[in-house]
Chain A
Amino acid sequence: NAGVTQTPKFQVLKTGQSMTLQCAQDMNHNSMYWYRQDPGMGLRLIYYSASEGTTDKGEVPNGYNVSRLNKREFSLRLESAAPSQTSVYFCASGIGGYTEAFFGQGTRLTVV
């Protein structure tokens, strides 16, 4: 009964490095989301996927790419990390935007 699983939990990157944050859910949800959380800014939507094979930009998509590999998995890629991307990243899934979202434990990313 894992729910939403994110890896890694912590990561330190140097400016310019690339990495992929992984997210998988076992609840057969159609919708998946990536958010970033910064102090005083709340949760800001980076990208959203309504179903397998579809993705859509959220509020802050610049500097990120996503891939909905299958119904279970939704990955977030930073091609060239910048210090401004230091944040806590949350993946979430749900039946749709009109129903509750289930969140993963988060990935704390630091870019130096």
Chain B
Amino acid sequence: GQQVMQIPQYQHVQEGEDFTTYCNSSTTLSNIQWYKQRPGGHPVFLIQLVKSGEVKKQKRLTFQFGEAKKNSSLHITATQTTDVGTYFCAGDQGGKLIFGQGTELSVKP
């Protein structure tokens, strides 16, 4: 079945540095979703990408969907301490939402 791999597992940055997490699927995805989970919290939906090559921005966050619809990335520009948490990508597999392992971001002030 579909596997969604995410790297890196952990990322430690200094406040103000950029951050990127990558998501790769073994099969073509119909769409990719991104979620953020704050420490001790539950995952919260950030965005969905549907089209090949799609790029979407939310303030300092930039999301990309690959041309082949098999990979995606989330880039945060100039991280802030409020960005701390785990970022997950998720792909649809016949109605089931399959998540990557997540990237845990820590930001040092």
Contacts and interface: CB of A to CB of B under 8 A. Distances in A.
B59 interface: no
Contacts of A33: 96-97
Contact of B42 (A48, A59, A96, A103): A103
A97 interface: yes
A97 B92 contact: yes
B94 A90 contact: no
Interface in A15-58: 31, 33, 35, 40-45, 48, 50, 56, 58
A43 B42 CA distance: 11
A78 B59 CA distance: 43
Contacts of B90: 43, 101
Given A96-B95, A99-B48, A42 B88 contact: yes
Contacts of B66: none
Given A99-B48, A102-B45, A103-B43, A94 B101 contact: no
Which bracket fits the contact residues of B? Answer: 20 to 34
Contacts of A102: 45
**Interface range, A side:** 20 to 34
B28 to A, nearest CB: 14
Given A97-B93, A100-B48, A42 B100 contact: yes
A40 B42 contact: no
Interface string A81-94: 00000000010101
B100 A104 contact: no
B26 to A, nearest CB: 13
Contacts of B99: 35, 42-45
A50 B45 CA distance: 19
A44 B102 CA distance: 11
Contacts of A110: none
B13 interface: no
Contacts of B27: none
A99 to B, nearest CB: 7
